[in-house]
Chain A
Amino acid sequence: MTRSTEPVMSSPRYSGQARYDLTRFPAAKALLINRWPQFLVRVIALVGFLFAILAGLSGTPVGSRNFGIVFIWIVWWALLILVAVPLLGRGWCTICPIPMPGEWLQNRALLGPKGRKPPFGLGRKWPKSLRNIWVQNGAFALLALFSAVVLTQPGVTAVILAAFLFIALGTSLIFERRAFCRYLCPVGGFIGLYSQAAPVEVRVRDTAVCAAHTTKTCYTGSEDGFGCPWGVFPGGLVKNTNCGMCLECLRTCPLDNVAINIRSVGADLTQPRGRKLDEAFKAFIMLGSAFVYSAVMLGPWGQMKAAAYNIGSLPWLLYILVFLVFTFGLLPGLFYLATRAGQILTPRRQSSRKSFTAYAYALVPLGLAAWIAFSLSFVFANASYILPVLSDPLGWGWDLLGTAEYGWTPYLTQHVPALQTLVMVVGLAWAGVTVRRIAQESNNPVSWRQAIPINLFCLLVTVGFLWLFVG
């Protein structure tokens, strides 16, 4: 076996960026290609997902005693935002159970392709005008408006989860591939954005090999696997955003040209190709949501909590107005002013829209840091709800493991503020590095001036978060 830390890519797009290809290890490759490990994990996740729906609908309405709330919004959320997204990017999408029933129907198979049956369903192509993440942006913002209820009411959480399942199922019967994951899932939208910061990627080794491969089995499918469920041609991948890491291309490539790489963090953020306004706005939505959530849920202002919770009331209408104006108006507006100020400082300018979109990618590490810092606070404070819920998942008075009476115990809450500070400062420094690299993309010797207001914007946002977290 050859073990080397040398870059393994021959394609020009990887020049100067070291990658370590995990599939060079035969055991790792065999494990990744084998369908059973992924399938079993997904089935377990599906069982947990269905049980969360059941618990939400039939269990106790007390959120802290209900499996649906505790396992979705504490356990799953902690694993997602503190581990999966920062380290594995779309690693969650690899094992997500939500599209499974739809895929089974669409593929007419539970596991792998057998006999290349034609897909079940209408198999329509997703409308061209919607081939972006604007719908996901809207869906996330919509859910965020109801978050105080969704996060605390088991029944509402159950309805949302069931809706995800049925919309995914319905979408797979009308449209080809995983249209739900790619264009509709509100969670997938932000995972895709933040996956650009992750130190792992699926890429082809040599794009020339893909170009010469006439049948393109990674896209069309073969006896060994399905065509890319995300509708992506792996040979053209330059960013993680739309790659669901489902591993099908690894299975279908007959030329051993697909790699699972370990790479430097944030490699996609400085990739000039594929930058889009919808993704830029996603960065603002995520940053704005993290700020509003931190104020409402971690702050001491009771009236704000009541406003977020009492849906339909006048205070709630005011709350959603503030949320929408802050997220879609104030934050992007200030950022736009920062990019304009940067343009005034720079003699040779790029267009405002291009500059706005490019520099918005620097908000990815900052936003990710904000979400991690926000999550640290309530996850450590509320993790002790896990043991009682494991023993009595529906709140029906069971005591399966003898831990049903385990009391609420906050863990490490005395250290959380320091951790939050550290996370935010690292996020700001990372954003600064990203700004610098984006500025260096133009050959303008004074392009650094354009980045000064962007750095100030990032500093301002960080100061705001620090005030909320430790002020």
Chain B
Amino acid sequence: MNAQAAVASIANPRYRYWPWFLLALLALSISFIPLPTSTAVPGSKKLRISASQYEFSPAVTRVNVGDRVTIELLSTDVVHGLYLDGYDLEVIADPGQTATLSFIADKSGTFRFRCLVTCGPLHPFMIGKLKVGSNTLLWRGLALAVLAAAIGFWRLRR
């Protein structure tokens, strides 16, 4: 099919929805196609996280997928807790004390951890991040955003 015929075929109402179908397929592919997993060898990782009003330190921590993670939560002022989104795990530490939480980091992505004991006015916003392997959701989101912008450019020309 030459270029003229291709354009004519797209202009044909029968093929009007093909570009949209292809774009939807592309969006679904970006969203759900499995991505290569990390090749890092799983090991043991000990994280010592101190909690004080209203921050965790370090606030952002990284482990590999499959690592056996041990979090030592040290509370430096009042009672604090740590609830890990996505893993549904929690631990509470009394002031000056350390509490321990162990788990296998078998899900990749970035997971928020939050204080789970009311520790003061800004308690709902006391948040940290655990990064496990690569953040595929962010990359998929960025790819979808670029696709959405590309559709915008493509539609502009029409």
Which residues of A are interface residues toward B (Cβ below 8 A)? 62-65, 148-149, 152-153, 296-303, 305-306, 309, 378, 381-382, 408, 410, 413-414, 416-418, 421, 424-425, 428-429, 431-433, 435-436, 439, 448, 451-452, 455-456, 458-459, 462-463, 466-467, 470-471
Contacts and interface: CB of A to CB of B under 8 A. Distances in A.
7 contacts: A64-B123, A302-B55, A408-B116, A425-B148, A433-B152, A448-B156, A459-B146
Contact of A459 (B128, B149, B155): B149
Interface in B108-158: 109-110, 112, 114, 116, 118, 121-129, 135, 137-138, 140-142, 144-146, 148-149, 151-153, 155-157
Contacts of B109: 417
Given A152-B124, A309-B122, A417-B110, A436 B155 contact: yes
Please classify how large the interface on chain B is, using the bins under 10, 10 to 19, 20 to 34, 35 or more.
35 or more
Interface in B73-130: 83, 85-86, 88, 109-110, 112, 114, 116, 118, 121-129
Given A296-B125, A309-B121, A459-B145, A432 B57 contact: no
A414 B109 CA distance: 11
B129 A300 contact: yes
Contact of A463 (B56, B88, B126, B145): B145
Contacts of B127: 298-300
B60 interface: yes
Given A302-B55, A463-B142, A413 B121 contact: no
A300 B110 contact: no
B149 A428 contact: yes
Q: Which 7 pairs between the two chains have the least Cβ-Cβ distance?
A: A302-B55, A432-B152, A300-B59, A448-B156, A421-B141, A152-B121, A429-B148
Nearest to A362: B152
Contact of B110 (A62, A303, A436, A470): A470
B145 A303 contact: no
Nearest to A454: B152
Given A302-B57, A471-B110, A451 B124 contact: no
Label chain B's interface by main secondary structure. Answer: mixed
A424 B149 contact: no
A452 B157 CA distance: 10
Nearest to A156: B121
A305 B125 contact: yes
B137 A414 contact: no
Contacts of A382: 124
B27 to A, nearest CB: 8
Interface in B2-40: none
Contacts of B149: 428, 432, 455-456, 458-459
A78 to B, nearest CB: 14
A303 B55 contact: yes
A305 B152 contact: no
A451 B116 CA distance: 46
B145 A425 contact: yes
Interface string B49-75: 000101111011000000000000000
Given A455-B153, A456-B149, A305 B55 contact: yes
Nearest to B137: A470
A151 to B, nearest CB: 9
Contacts of B125: 148, 296-298, 305, 378
Nearest to A293: B125
B55 A300 contact: yes
Contacts of A298: 112, 125, 127
Given A408-B116, A421-B140, A467-B138, A448 B157 contact: yes
B128 to A, nearest CB: 5
Nearest to B107: A414
Contacts of B141: 421, 424-425, 466, 470
A433 B148 CA distance: 10
Contact of B56 (A62, A300, A306): A300
Contacts of B55: 300-303, 305-306
Contact of A302 (B54, B118, B148, B157): B54
Contacts of B126: 302, 305
A471 B135 contact: yes
Nearest to B157: A448
Nearest to B116: A408
Contact of A305 (B54, B112, B135): B54
A471 B138 contact: yes
Contacts of A436: 152, 155-156
A9 to B, nearest CB: 27
Given A64-B118, A298-B125, A448-B157, 17 more contacts: A65-B118, A149-B121, A302-B52, A305-B125, A414-B86, A417-B137, A421-B137, A432-B155, A435-B152, A436-B152, A451-B152, A452-B156, A455-B149, A458-B149, A470-B110, A470-B135, A470-B137
